[in-house]
Amino acid sequence: MKEIDFIYKNFDPHAFSINLKSAKDKYKKEEFNFLEDVILDSVRDIDQLKYEINHSQFSNSNNRVFDNFVKKYKNNYTDNDIKKYFFETNNILNTRGKDRGDVVSLLGVHLECGEFFRYFKKDFDITFYGQVTYTKHTHKDPHEFGIFRDYYCLYIKNIKKYYLFFFQHCSRAMEMEFTQVAKIFSQKPKSSELINILKRGDKATYPDNKEIIVKQYKIFTYSKSYNRIYKEGYNLKHQTKPHFKNEEDYFNYHNTKGESYFAQRMAISNPEKYFAKHFKSWKQVSWILGGSSSPGYRRSKIRGKFKGDSFFKFVMSNRFNYRNSTKFIEDIIYSYDDLEGLLDNVPKKVQESKSLKEEIRILRLFRGNNKKFIIKVFHTNKDKLEDLVKNYMPSTIFNDVLLMNELIKLDINFTADIGEKLKKNKKFMSRVNKLLKS
């Protein structure tokens, strides 16, 4: 089935009216495609919800609504349970998010001319069509037509409201194309009333309403040529998300052809069962432990003590050779505040190796309480300050008033690294803001 056909077949008009109301803060903003997002949020997709339920069951999704569903139903649920819990109780119809692909542009054309709502005659009625053009902003060239606005008044039967939508089009500046709700009516507005609204135009953009030309239409037709113009969206097939009844099938799918992140999360939380199946190289393991094995990328310092870090203990146990690999230890040693906790798991002979011994000595110096020494190092290493701070310093430095004050004096860019605790220090932040404004 084509994706556009799936949207039509599974669209829920009742959910649409709820989602439209909740999008009220976007009515007066120049938001791209806000109406398209509302439509897509109103498309029922049970397979997609089952896919997300699997994440809560097997890989700790941290999604409260889905987690509560799993707690309630475990692995024993029906499609009707999903409909009642997600559709009816929580008004969650799918988990598409913002990544909706090429079908969005095609759907936009269906909406702009009213074709989408005309399909659902039992739920909607378009009572007025009109167009506004501007004498100073309209051109004869079909490729450089300037600016115009299409309006229609949509009657939503289940809430008994009339929404006057407009769709602004501009051939020369894409940022000027947007959709808004011009006005909402409780009673059916007369055509003359709507025409007067169109004639007033947008005073902020077009203060001279003498240049406004208003024309009423019987209908905005949908041309089949749009299926060719937007062929990527028109030909897009709907993909059914797979779901699984047991944990191992779920893991195997994501570990081979699904989203590897979910398999990785399972391998971290249950290494006894899944570590060997997922991790194939030391660089993969190093990255999880904060190493620099990804080119040009280093993760933020890992805070806290190693106590309770079951994955680290598993990796550094005697069953593997990671703890004896100087190369591996070199890659992760800069990633932890708890340097001594890390070294407790590294054999002495590795710590005494030529490449590690001096690095460990330097790292220990920066974990002491001698702030004068640290500040002196800042000033004598201005040319490599960022690497020095990010690699050798513990993350606690970013919440230290004295040290951060010195860093910011030397390089204003360090304001981006101010710790969350220090951000609450009003006196310090006041000085920073003054510095940024100067």
- Give the pLDDT of residue 352: 95
Task: Give me the amino acid identity at 430.
Answer: S
Does this model's pTM top 0.75?
yes
Cα distance between residue 317 and residue 337, in whole Å: 21
Helices (H), ranges, 246-353: 247-256, 260-269, 271-278, 282-288, 310-315, 326-332, 339-343, 348-351
Maximum C-alpha span of the chain = 89
**Is pLDDT above 70 for 27?**
no
- Give the pLDDT of residue 137: 60
**What are the pLDDT digits (tens) for 376-415?**
989 998 888 988 888 888 888 899 999 999 999 999 999 9
Residue 146's DSSP bridge partners are: 138
- Return the residue matching tokens 């542009």: 105
> 27 vs 154, 200, 242, 425, CA distance in Å?
15, 18, 36, 38
**What are the pLDDT digits (tens) for 60-96?**
778 899 999 999 998 899 999 999 999 999 999 999 8
Cα distance between residue 366 and residue 249, in whole Å: 47
Tokens read off for 220: 């905005």
Dihedrals phi, psi of 217, to nearest 5 degrees: -120, 160
Cα distance between residue 326 and residue 202, in whole Å: 68
Categorize the per-residue pLDDT at 207 as very low, low, confident or very high, splitting at 50, 70 and 90.
very low
Which residues, in sequence order, are CB contacts of 13 under 8 Å at separation 6+?
42, 120, 123, 124, 156, 158
**Is pLDDT above 50 for 350?**
yes
Dihedrals phi, psi of 101, to nearest 5 degrees: 70, -165
Q: What is the mean pLDDT of the chain?
A: 88
Dihedrals phi, psi of 436, to nearest 5 degrees: -65, -35
Per DSSP, 383 falls in state G
DSSP string, 19-70: HHHHTGGGTTS-BTTHHHHHHHTTB--HHHHHHHHHHHHHS----HHHHHHH
If DSSP codes are grouped into helix, strand and coil, which group holds residue 208?
coil
> 221 vs 2, 10, 145, 388, CA distance in Å?
22, 23, 19, 64
**Is pLDDT above 80 for 58?**
yes
Residue 128's DSSP bridge partners are: 153
Tokens read off for 341: 């906790």
Residue of 271, 270, 248, 251 whose CA lies nearest to 261: 251
Categorize the per-residue pLDDT at 369 as very low, low, confident or very high, splitting at 50, 70 and 90.
confident
Task: Give me the amino acid identity at 284.
Answer: Q
- Give the pLDDT of residue 177: 72
- Give the pLDDT of residue 199: 86
**Is pLDDT above 50 for 11?**
yes
Cα distance between residue 268 and residue 312, in whole Å: 9
Tokens read off for 64: 């409260």
**What are the pLDDT digits (tens) for 103-158?**
888 999 999 999 999 999 999 999 999 998 877 666 565 555 567 889 999 999 99
- Give the pLDDT of residue 205: 52
Q: Label the pairing between strands 124-138 and 146-156.
A: antiparallel
The answer to whether 245 and 75 are in contact (CB under 8 A) is: yes
Categorize the per-residue pLDDT at 295 as very low, low, confident or very high, splitting at 50, 70 and 90.
low
Cα distance between residue 192 and residue 207, in whole Å: 22
Tokens read off for 58: 């097997």
**Is pLDDT above 90 for 244?**
yes
Cα distance between residue 201 and residue 131, in whole Å: 11
> 258 vs 61, 243, 264, 289, CA distance in Å?
16, 11, 11, 23
- Give the pLDDT of residue 25: 79
The answer to whether 185 and 147 are in contact (CB under 8 A) is: no
> 312 vs 281, 302, 309, 327, CA distance in Å?
16, 12, 6, 17
Cα distance between residue 325 and residue 293, in whole Å: 14
> 29 vs 21, 182, 261, CA distance in Å?
15, 11, 36
Q: Label the pairing between strands 212-217 and 124-138.
A: antiparallel
**Is pLDDT above 80 for 175?**
no
Determine how many CB atoms are found less than 10 A away from the CB of residue 163: 20
112 vs 170, higher pLDDT = 112
- Give the pLDDT of residue 308: 73
**Is pLDDT above 50 for 314?**
yes
- Give the pLDDT of residue 279: 95
- Give the pLDDT of residue 146: 65
- Give the pLDDT of residue 297: 52
**What are the pLDDT digits (tens) for 246-267?**
999 999 999 999 999 999 999 9
